Amino acid sequence: MTNSAVVIDGLRVVRGGREVLRDVSFRVEPGSVTGLLGPSGCGKTTLMRAVVGVQVTHGGTVTVLGEPAGSRRLRRRIGYATQAPAVYADLTVTESLRYFASVLGAPSRSIAEAIEQVGLGSHADALVGRLSGGQRSRASLAVALLGKPELLVLDEPTVGLDPLLREHLWNVFHRLAADGTTLLVSSHVMDEAARCTRLLLMRDGALLADDSPDALRAATGEQDLERAFLHLVKAQR
């Protein structure tokens, strides 16, 4: 029995004859904000899909909240926000969240709270189709927040947002973690690495590092985390 929120051991994913994930192993501790960082195409989204149980795997194990990934018992315990908005253009923000709350069995009181958390309170009655791309992404994030899931898996939730909104969302993430939610957040923007309590750095389907930002700085001798990542890449050659 483990207390880790996510345990991945020897995970392999093959697509089109190419090994997309290569023997990936790590743990995500409860109440942490774990950043999954690396360049586009390195396997971050595939790894997140494996965590939520919607990815075909070819080796290894994925255990989430003590259950095999994809287990029916996990459906209401995990919130997942993909890069593509998952809300309907012909509904308002509130109507969209009301629909998803009914599907997820989330309490209706969580709808307004989720909308406020992502900074869309002033757009609660706006049609999703009339929102900007960043606003639609935040509406999708609000869906993931419904019902206060134990684990949030967020695939590049801040992409395309201005610095103030990014700052707001990272503050929300850390408040959620302080309340006991576990977050796995992907990004290809290295300046977001410092906002995480732990970092998983990926390249070409493999983990280069699994450590805290300060430990990575100490190990590489680089204070800038982007330079620390480049240091690790060069060390692998």
Looking at the domain assignment, is residue 189 inside a domain? yes
End-to-end CA gap in the chain: 37
pLDDT of residue 173: 94
Looking at the domain assignment, is residue 49 inside a domain? no
Per-residue pLDDT band for 2 (boundaries 50, 70, 90) equals low
Measured CA to CA, the distance from residue 28 to residue 143 in angstroms comes to 22
Measured CA to CA, the distance from residue 63 to residue 94 in angstroms comes to 33
Looking at the domain assignment, is residue 74 inside a domain? no
pLDDT of residue 108: 92
The kind and range of the H/E element at 10 are: strand 6-15
- pLDDT exceeds cutoff 80 at 237: no
pLDDT of residue 23: 96
Looking at the domain assignment, is residue 179 inside a domain? yes
Owner of token pair 């253009």: 89
Looking at the domain assignment, is residue 22 inside a domain? no
Measured CA to CA, the distance from residue 77 to residue 79 in angstroms comes to 7
Q: What is the pLDDT of residues 88-126, one digit of tens each?
A: 999 999 999 999 999 888 999 999 999 999 999 999 999
Domain count, the chain: 1
Looking at the domain assignment, is residue 152 inside a domain? yes
- pLDDT exceeds cutoff 80 at 168: yes
Looking at the domain assignment, is residue 20 inside a domain? no
Q: What percent of the chain has pLDDT over 90?
A: 79
Looking at the domain assignment, is residue 178 inside a domain? yes
**Which domain does 129 fall in, by range?**
30-41+83-236
Q: What angle do CA 136, 111, 158 make, to 5 degrees?
A: 35
Q: Considering the entire predicted model, what is its pTM?
A: 0.92
Q: What is the CATH number of the domain that holds 226?
A: 3.40.50.300
Q: What percent of the chain has pLDDT over 70?
A: 99
Torsion, Cα of 45, 77, 166, 54 (10° steps): 10
pLDDT of residue 1: 43
Contact partners, residue 37, CB within 8 Å, separation at least 6: 44, 186, 187, 188, 190, 192, 193, 199, 200, 201, 202, 229
